Structure 1
Amino acid sequence: MTIKLIDSSPALTADELDKIESKLGITFPPTLKSVWLANNGGVLEGGRRVYQSTKYENDIKYFLPVLHAKNAGTLTVDTFYKALVYEKKLLPENFIPFAIDGGGFPYCIERNEETVYFCDLENQEENLLEPDLDSFVGKIFTEDEAWG
Structure 2
Amino acid sequence: MNSVVLNEVEKLLKIKIPVQLRQFLLHHNGGMPENNAWLDPESEFEEVAIHELIPIKYYKKSNNKNYLIPSIAEDLWGRKLLPETLLPFAIDAGGNYFCIDINNGKIYYYTLDTWSDNLSLTDNQDMNTRFLCNSFNEFISKLVCEDDLDDLYGL
TM-score for both structures, normalised by structure 1 = 0.82
Greater strand content: 1
Does the 8 A contact of 2:108 with 2:129 survive in 1? yes
Q: Among residues 84, 106, 122, which one is paired with 2:76 in the alignment?
A: 84
1:51 maps to which residue? 38
Matched, 1:129 2:140: no
What's the offset of the Cα at 1:117?
A: 0.3
Q: Which residue of 1 aligns with 2:18?
A: 29
Note the C-alpha offset of 1:134. 2.0
Unaligned runs of 5+ in 1: 1-11
Structure 1 consecutive aligned stretches of length 4 or more whose deviation exceeds 6 Å: none
CA contact (8 A) 2:95 2:112 kept: no
RMSD of aligned alpha carbons: 1.7
Q: 1:41 to 1:138 in 2, by over 3 A?
A: same
> Shift in Å at residue 65 of structure 1?
0.8
DSSP-derived class of the 1:113 partner:
coil
TM-score using structure 2 length? 0.79
Question: Which residue identity does 1:83 align to in structure 2?
Answer: D
**Structure 2 residue 54 is the aligned partner of structure 1 residue 64:** yes
Give the secondary-structure state (helix, strand or coil) at the position aligned to 1:127.
strand
d(CA) in 1 for partners of 2:69, 2:140: 19
Mapped partners of 1:70, 1:20: distance in 2 = 18
Contact residue 34 and residue 145 of structure 2 kept, 8 A: no
Structure 2 CA distance for aligned equivalents of residues 138 and 17 of structure 1: 23
Give per-residue Cα distances to partners, 1:18-39, cap 9 Å, x unaligned.
0111111111001111111101
Residues 130 and 34 (structure 1), Cα distance of their counterparts in 2 relative to 1, 3 Å cut: same
Give the paired residue count. 134
Give CA deviations for 1:55-102 in whole Å, capped at 9, x if unaligned: 33101101111111355468210111011012x111111100010001
Q: Does 1:119 align with 2:106?
A: no
In 2, the alpha carbon distance for the partners of 1:84 and 1:43 equals 22
Structure 2: which 5+ residue stretches go unaligned? 115-123
Q: Which of the two has greater helix per residue?
A: 2
